[in-house]
Amino acid sequence: MTEQAKTIHFMINDQPVEAREGWTVLETARQYGIHIPTLCYHEAVEPSGGCRLCVVELREGNWSKVVISCMYPVQEGINIYTESDRVNNVRRWVLEMLLAECPASTEIRALAAKYGVNGTRFPSKNPEEQCMLCGLCVRVCREVVGVSAITTIGRGVHKFVGAPYDKPSEACVACGSCVTICPTGAMRARLDRVRGSGHHSHHSANKA
């Protein structure tokens, strides 16, 4: 952010807001304490736009579209709505999809319930699944920790998050950043596998 960065004026929920050029709608909303729910976003890593929970409505006269607020750059004069019917419908649809994708996640069930979503019309592939494949664990490991101990493996229903080649990861420094950043609770169980059962870190204090 340079000192010359332009100030952008626009509206969120009919309230005038100011942002720096290059900010996203989500970043601006957070500056003003306007809540937009997110799952795959974290300020420490690059946004991926994967989960779509953070959708907002952009209105222009009698034309409107739904945009992904964690990716959408601010523009002069736009009108953003964070709680419109259209937004709430998309959000509920996203939450229903997530309930099917990771039905075993207590965190996702609680979040869905908060938005009045207590069941899903969509079939679930695995009732035990907790991971929504948001990729936050992979991104924090690569971008912040800088070791790339985690990756996504395979594709489609076989795709899951684990160590590269699904072997214990020698690269893992057992920092726990992936557990902290995981929005669904899935990483708690997976970390042991990523660290590898035979992999004892130097940080381990409880070795007999």
Nearer to ligand SF4, 51 or 67 (CB): 51
What residues pair up with 64 in beta bridges, in sequence order?
59
As given in the structure block, the two tokens for residue 11 are 């509206």
Coil, strand or helix at 49: coil
Nearer to ligand FES, 49 or 196 (CB): 49
The gap from C-alpha 84 to its chain's centroid, in whole angstroms, comes to 21
Q: Should residue 98 be labelled a site residue for ligand SF4 when binding is judged by CB under 6 A?
A: no
Q: What's the min distance (Å) between Cβ of 165 and ligand FES?
A: 28
Give the x-and-dash track for 144-183 against ligand SF4 (CB under 6 A): -----------------x-------------------xx-
Report 139-168 residues binding ligand FES (CB under 6 A): none
Binder among 68, 112, 132, 136 for ligand FES (CB under 6 A): 68
Question: Among the residues of the chain, which ranges form H helices?
Answer: 25-31, 85-101, 106-114, 136-139, 177-181, 186-195
Q: What's the min distance (Å) between Cβ of 100 and ligand SF4?
A: 14
CA-CA distances (angstroms) from residue 23 to 50, 52, 55, 173, 208? 19, 18, 16, 33, 51
As given in the structure block, the two tokens for residue 189 are 């169980």
In whole angstroms, give the CA distance from residue 67 to residue 80.
9
The gap from C-alpha 200 to its chain's centroid, in whole angstroms, comes to 30
Q: Should residue 52 be labelled a site residue for ligand FES when binding is judged by CB under 6 A?
A: yes
Q: Should residue 53 be labelled a site residue for ligand FES when binding is judged by CB under 6 A?
A: yes
Which run of H or of E encompasses 179? helix 177-181
Q: How many helices (H) and strands (E) does the chain have?
A: 6, 7
Q: What's the min distance (Å) between Cβ of 174 and ligand SF4?
A: 16
* Stretch binding ligand FES (CB under 6 A), from 45-53, 104-112, 159-167, 190-198: 45-53
First to last CA, the chain: 51
In whole angstroms, give the CA distance from residue 185 to residue 190.
9
Q: What's the min distance (Å) between Cβ of 75 and ligand SF4?
A: 30
Q: Should residue 70 be labelled a site residue for ligand FES when binding is judged by CB under 6 A?
A: yes
* Stretch binding ligand FES (CB under 6 A), from 36-44, 111-119, 168-176, 181-189: 36-44
Contact of residue 133 among ligand SF4, ligand FES, none (CB under 5-8 Å per partner type): ligand SF4
Q: Could you list the residues that contact ligand FES (CB under 6 A)?
A: 38-41, 49-54, 68, 70
